[in-house]
Structure 1
């Protein structure tokens, strides 16, 4: 397997975490799903910075976002598969 562009800790996660710099819109990204040792590919819709998240599937406004099999907040806008998932479209459920 080539070095992954993003990591997914649990197969139930809705996002993967970018682990390389310089990803651009239009790139095909390779991800490693750690709990199943699977490799997946996602077409990046946006440039996504190191440490930010990519949507693994279409996410609807109001959906819960899962990372590391944990609820990290809810979508406040629709996010297409391959889209940049960050503060512009996800908010905590605490406030």
Structure 2
């Protein structure tokens, strides 16, 4: 099955893929990454450049994109849901979170 919608997922441990074109709600997309194939029904409109979950992500769990942690889920996120500021809390560049080593 190839819906014709283009996405990218770089690492097998990633939790999200990125839409390389707008993808409407209800579309079935196939995301492939290093031999793994994920068949995902898009639950919300996903705009070009935005992320969507390819695996279940639980509240409090790190979200991986391109093999790197980009934030933590603030709620449970189902495959096909948009992953953005409404359900992801960023960890990078935060002035209020400081790691201090003794």
Q: Into which bin does the TM-score normalised by the smaller protein fall?
A: 0.7 to 0.9
TM-score normalised to the size of structure 1? Answer: 0.85
Residue 11 of structure 2 corresponds to which residue in structure 1?
A: 10
CA RMSD of aligned residues (A): 1.7
Tell me how far 1:5 sits from its aligned partner: 2.4
| Deviations 1:39-58 (CA, angstroms, capped at 9, x unpaired) | 43211111111101110111
Aligned length: 92
Q: Out of 39, 62, 80, which is 1:41 matched to? A: 39
Runs of 4+ in 1 over 3 A off after TM superposition: 1-4
Are the aligned partners of 1:64 and 1:75 in contact in 2 as well (CA < 8 Å)? yes
Residue 30 of structure 1 corresponds to which residue in structure 2?
A: 30
Are the aligned partners of 1:18 and 1:53 in contact in 2 as well (CA < 8 Å)? yes
For the pair 1:63 / 2:64, whether they are aligned, the reply is: no
Gaps of 5+ in 2: 97-102
Counterpart-to-counterpart distance in 2, 1:6 and 1:15: 10
Are the aligned partners of 1:4 and 1:31 in contact in 2 as well (CA < 8 Å)? no
Are the aligned partners of 2:16 and 2:53 in contact in 1 as well (CA < 8 Å)? yes
Are the aligned partners of 2:12 and 2:36 in contact in 1 as well (CA < 8 Å)? no
Counterpart-to-counterpart distance in 1, 2:14 and 2:30: 16
